[in-house]
Chains A and B, each alone.
Chain A
């Protein structure tokens, strides 16, 4: 069974304090790994797709990386507006669904 585990569950940082969120996965052949951002009361917003180990993608203060067992979302010099829940999801080859982790709730204090 495909599984995704995110850690930590919650993370509180000071503005400018860089850190990383972890997404560990087990999947029967990875088609893609996705990162989403979710603000309270809103739907998930797409951030990145990673397809193969070694791949990296960046967007503003965020960088996502992928290995064969896990993905990291690195946040560099975060700002309060980066506060949100970050969701990781995987899609297995041939599957028609995303399997989500439970998310990391990130709070950036000014």
Chain B
């Protein structure tokens, strides 16, 4: 089954404690990205990757890091989480936006609470 898998689904952590949210896709997609979803603000892109070792900032990258060492994985790293990073996070993947099928597939989400 084609899917994007995020882990964990729920996470409560304390300010300053480094954490990683994993994302893996099994569709051989080149393009992967991370979004956060907040009430009243909608989905906003954090970082994206067009291929292995190619990453770039989205609209709200402050406080986050990413890496793309393998095509299927795109972890999101919070080096020193703060309460304003409490949010619902989604990983998405697609074949890219150069043409053809461009629809993005989303993971189930990670609800992060930073206290």
Query: Which A residues fall within an 8 A CB radius of B?
Result: 31-32, 34, 36, 41-46, 49, 87, 89, 91, 95-98, 100-103
Contact B108 A42 (CB under 8 A): yes
Measured CA separation A89–B109 after assembly (Å): 18
- In this assembly, does B95 line the interface, its C-beta being within 8 Å of a C-beta of chain A? no
Interface of B is mostly: strand
What chain A residues lie within 8 Å of B90 (beta carbons)?
43-44
- In this assembly, does B11 line the interface, its C-beta being within 8 Å of a C-beta of chain A? no
Contact partner of B33 (CB less than 8 A), chosen from A41, A43, A46, A97, is A97
Measured CA separation A45–B107 after assembly (Å): 9
What chain A residues lie within 8 Å of B35 (beta carbons)?
100
- In this assembly, does B106 line the interface, its C-beta being within 8 Å of a C-beta of chain A? yes
Chain B, residues 29-51, CB within 8 Å of chain A (1/0): the string is 00101010000111111001010
- Please choose the segment from B14-22, B65-73, B77-85, B97-105 that sits at the chain A interface, where 4 or more of its residues have CB less than 8 A away: B97-105
CB distance from B5 to the nearest CB of A (A): 11
Contact B97 A95 (CB under 8 A): yes
Q: How large is the interface on B (under 10, 10 to 19, 20 to 34, 35 or more residues)?
A: 20 to 34
Contact B31 A96 (CB under 8 A): yes
CB distance from B42 to the nearest CB of A (A): 4
A-B CB contact pairs (8 Å), 26 listed? A31-B97, A32-B102, A34-B104, A41-B109, A42-B108, A42-B109, A43-B107, A43-B109, A44-B90, A44-B106, A49-B102, A87-B42, A87-B43, A89-B43, A91-B97, A91-B102, A95-B97, A96-B31, A96-B56, A97-B45, A97-B48, A97-B58, A98-B43, A100-B42, A100-B43, A102-B41
